[in-house]
Chain A
Amino acid sequence: MIERIALFVLFLLGFAVIVGHKNVVKKIFGLNIINNAAVILFVLEGAKVGNQAPILTTGAAVAGAAAGSAGGSGGAVAGAVAQMSGEVTPVALAPAAGTVDSACAAIAEASGAGPGAAAGLTGDLAGNVAEGANSLANLGAFSVVDPVPQALMLTAIVIGVCITALALALAFRLYKATGTFDIDEMYRRIHHEP
């Protein structure tokens, strides 16, 4: 709640600069500030539904690391194997679901597709991993944050940067034309023409 109030205040600050400040460059900053307040709000709220970045390899590695801490180095290797196999199938995500069987299946499949050297390890490690996956299930559900707001805001950020660049170029030309950064003065000088 407190962070949203802070964002709201930030937004109002930016808006006050746009409306109240006379300097055009500061007005452009104000536009930037309100844009960023909206972007942060969207991303922040969208990130409250999960606890992991929306990148699923990280998910597998995290699962592996958790398993590793519980059952020795096996889990880490399993994660590595899953990564080495290169081709990510939904099955590789299965440790995230926390079920032991599919975790084993994942390693079996991943190492089958992966380099031969890794395949030999799998048999020894399956037991450890099963243990690790159990402890992972106890750690609480693994879930990623909502990736949609992040993708949308990526677009909004780029658009905001473009608008800022164009606005600054216009402000530069206006300064060259009128010799002032004061918006009222610009209006007065330019609308003086017949």
Chain B
Amino acid sequence: MTPRRVFSALWSILPLVISLVAVGAILIPIFLESTPWPVEARNHLEDQGVAESGAQNLVSAVYLGYRAFDTLGETIVLLVAVSGTIGIIARAKGALAKGFDREDKGSPVPAVALAAGTTSLSAPPPRLRRAKTRTDLLEVVTGKLGPVVLVFGFYVMLYGHLSPGGGFQGGVVIASGIVFLALGGKEGASTRLTEAGVLARLEAMAFFFLVLAAFLGMFMGSGFFTNFLAGVGLPSVGFIILLNIIIGLKVGAGIGFMGIAMLSRVEGAKGEEVNHD
């Protein structure tokens, strides 16, 4: 290795080194800060948390009670991510014709001109090597396991106020149950839970009810996101259970939908390929 090459190698990693040193120098005092952890919020929750929210699981009490507004924002992020991801992937059909040809690395064709439809790229998309995605083992195991996972997901969701778990955690388990069912499902299976349309409707309705639950506080409680169930005389934990169920269904349907969309993308790619043959 000549000195010049060493120098150019050093030169090329210089920006990386500079940014690492800068970031490291700023973050090390934060990572190593050793002030005693503040306990005011913890003490308050330990003493009053159950009385104020009705949930013994204090984490649930915080994220569905005290800070439910944050959770609403988080749900929205999930909703937008699901809808955006599915949109971006779904629109990928024929994206090759709009963009650059993967084979033709030498002369990239301007995308705008192609998108405007002035030229048409006649080169066929490269063949994706088709791996065998399903085996009997996978189908049998996931098909049998799916319902069990679904039941467990509902348990985690419904008991979120008492035990570790809650809407998000339960929802994710439900979503994996849905994906299992979809993986193991054969033609003409008796469940409609793996249909994209059903999941999209479930998700939209759950989001609507979540917004509605926040709104009802305005009329039945004493403001947005107040516990309107307590306002009509039900036990106050009901609010957290209700939110857990809504969020669980929403997360389950949303992430399940995303999983289904990615699975059917695999199918779509096959279909595309067949068309081009």
Which positions in A face B, CB cutoff 8 Å?
A: 1, 4-5, 7-8, 11-12, 15-16, 19-20, 41, 45-46, 48-50, 53-57, 87-90, 93, 143-148, 150-152, 154-155, 158-159, 162-163, 165-166, 168-170, 172-173, 176-179, 189-190, 192-194
Contacts and interface: CB of A to CB of B under 8 A. Distances in A.
Q: Per DSSP, are chain B's interface residues mostly helix, strand or loop, or mixed?
A: helix
A50 B63 CA distance: 20
Contact of A155 (B20, B31, B63): B63
B23 to A, nearest CB: 6
B77 A159 contact: yes
Interface residues of B, number: 65
B77 A154 contact: no
Interface of B: 13, 15-16, 19-20, 23-24, 27-28, 31-32, 34, 37, 39, 41-42, 45-51, 56-59, 61-63, 67, 70-71, 73-74, 77-78, 80-82, 84-85, 88-89, 91-92, 95-96, 98-103, 105, 108, 110-112, 162-164, 168, 235, 258
Contacts of B34: 1
B58 A54 contact: yes
Given A16-B20, A162-B77, A193 B42 contact: no
Contacts of A15: 19-20, 23
A151 B71 CA distance: 9
A173 B92 contact: yes
B84 A158 contact: no
Given A12-B24, A165-B258, A177-B99, A193 B111 contact: yes
Contacts of B48: 90
Contact of A169 (B45, B77, B88, B110): B88
Contacts of A151: 59, 62-63, 67
Contacts of A4: 31-32
Contact of A158 (B77, B85, B105): B77
Given A12-B20, A154-B59, A90 B50 contact: yes
Given A12-B24, A16-B20, A49-B42, A56 B31 contact: no
